[in-house]
Amino acid sequence: MSPAVLGLVGIAVLLVLLILRIPVAFSMFLVGFIGIWALNGWNAAMGLLSSETFTLASSPELVVVPLFILMGNVASATGMSRRLYDAAYAMIGHIRGGLASATVIGCGGFAALSGSSVASALTMGKVSLAEMDRFGYDQRLSTGVVAAGGTLGILIPPSTGFVIYAILTEQSIGRLFLAGVLPGILLLVAFLVTVAVVCWLRPEFGPRGPVTTLDEKRRALVGALPILAVIVITIGGIYGGLFSPVEAAGVGAGLVTIYGFAFTGLTVGGFWIAAKDSIVTTATVMLILIAAHIFNPFLALSHVPRIVGETLMTMNMSALGTLVVILAVYLILGCFLEGFAMLVLTLPIFFPVVTNLGMDPIWFGVLVVLTLEMGLISPPVGLNVFIVKSVAPKTELSTIFRGVAPFWLAMLVTLGILIAFPQISLILPNTMFN
């Protein structure tokens, strides 16, 4: 069996294992290790396993992952995320669809603390769904806006998706974080416009909430100041060159923890629970990264990435046409695969093609991560949809998927804008580093 055929067989086996719900890390470990063993022998496979495990586990750049995850978990435990939602609710809850718009803003703010789409959808679902149900919001809008708003967690920095992309492609985590700021804001605005359009077409979907007094607005804004301050300090510190991403993560986690103990009654037990959740999530991310560094050499040895690249080149498509094909593949895979699995499976194949065509790898990273977001609400897998289902068990899955459809279209429009205007993604990282 030729190396190329063995590589294709390995990819097919990996897809089957993922469809069978075998964890991503274990699937890649198995296929990558056996593939290297078959191509280069037992000693090479064992040597790579031991060296890559140590190299990844001791990488200082990856400290950013547990620290930002801890920051988000502690913020959730202290109620900071709810106060952000309350502030948005006080300001715009009285307009038609205001609670849904407040949920989008709350998801965006919490995303800037947690870096996790699942955490954003879960936390904001617990906070906002009951309120929207109390005011008679249609379930399609209420559940759809939570599932879609939660996806902001993978684009608005700090983003775990950007960290994994950076490690797999050897790009700057700081540049990727900054590249996600304006696209994240653009997507948030697109979601707000979507809520407004839905409520204009179907006014009964988003009834008006109660009008709040100026004093109530002021108190709500004051309550949200701590979380806003942490966001400004961490992201602004990276942009201003005061912190590296790792240092910003440490500062953010430290500030949220100190604030929690000093002002919100955070207990040692509550902090311990948040820390344990952070450890579990970090271990999952680390296992996926280590497994990717076993699977990727197997693909390189099989020459599959080179063959795919040469095939795309011989099709005589423009760079834009090739990019559209690659993103279309991501959209299709997003209907069946989890986002991190898509990254580790496809980047070794597509990234060399992108760099050979002269595309900016930071810009491509933003496009890929946005496409992964779309997969989080795409049927039949749609991880965020199932997260919202767990918070609202009486709501049918079909109802939630219908609810996210307008937001999926908004994400597609945003993707087109970012393709047409790369500077939206590149202006902040280029300003910082140049």
pLDDT in tens, 41-73: 888 888 887 777 777 777 777 787 788 788 878
SS3 338: coil
- For 139, the domain range is 3-433
- How far apart CA 389 and CA 411 sit, in angstroms, is 21
In the chain, the number of structural domains is: 1
- Residue 190's pLDDT is what? 95
Q: Which residues contact 150 (CB under 8 A, 6 or more apart)?
A: 107, 111, 117, 118, 120, 121, 122, 124, 125, 376, 384, 387, 388
pLDDT tens across 130-182, in order? 778 878 889 999 999 998 988 887 788 777 788 889 888 889 888 998 899 99
434 residues of the chain, pLDDT tens digit each: 788 888 888 888 887 887 787 877 788 889 889 998 998 888 888 888 777 777 777 777 778 778 878 887 888 788 777 787 788 878 877 788 888 888 888 888 777 776 677 777 777 777 788 778 878 889 999 999 998 988 887 788 777 788 889 888 889 888 998 899 999 999 999 999 999 999 999 988 988 877 788 888 888 888 888 888 888 888 788 777 788 878 888 898 899 899 899 888 888 998 999 899 888 878 877 887 788 778 878 877 887 777 776 776 677 778 888 899 889 888 887 776 667 777 877 888 889 888 888 899 999 999 999 998 888 888 766 778 877 887 788 888 888 889 999 999 999 999 999 999 999 999 988 887 55
**Tally of CB atoms within 10 A around 90:** 25
Tracing tokens 């920095």 back to the chain, one arrives at 157
- How far apart CA 281 and CA 288 sit, in angstroms, is 11
Query: What single letter denotes the amino acid at residue 426?
Result: L
Tracing tokens 């700021």 back to the chain, one arrives at 181
**Tally of CB atoms within 10 A around 290:** 20
- Residue 421's pLDDT is what? 95
- Residue 115's pLDDT is what? 67
- How far apart CA 205 and CA 186 sit, in angstroms, is 24
The stretches of 202-318 forming alpha helices (DSSP H) are 214-239, 245-263, 268-302, 304-314
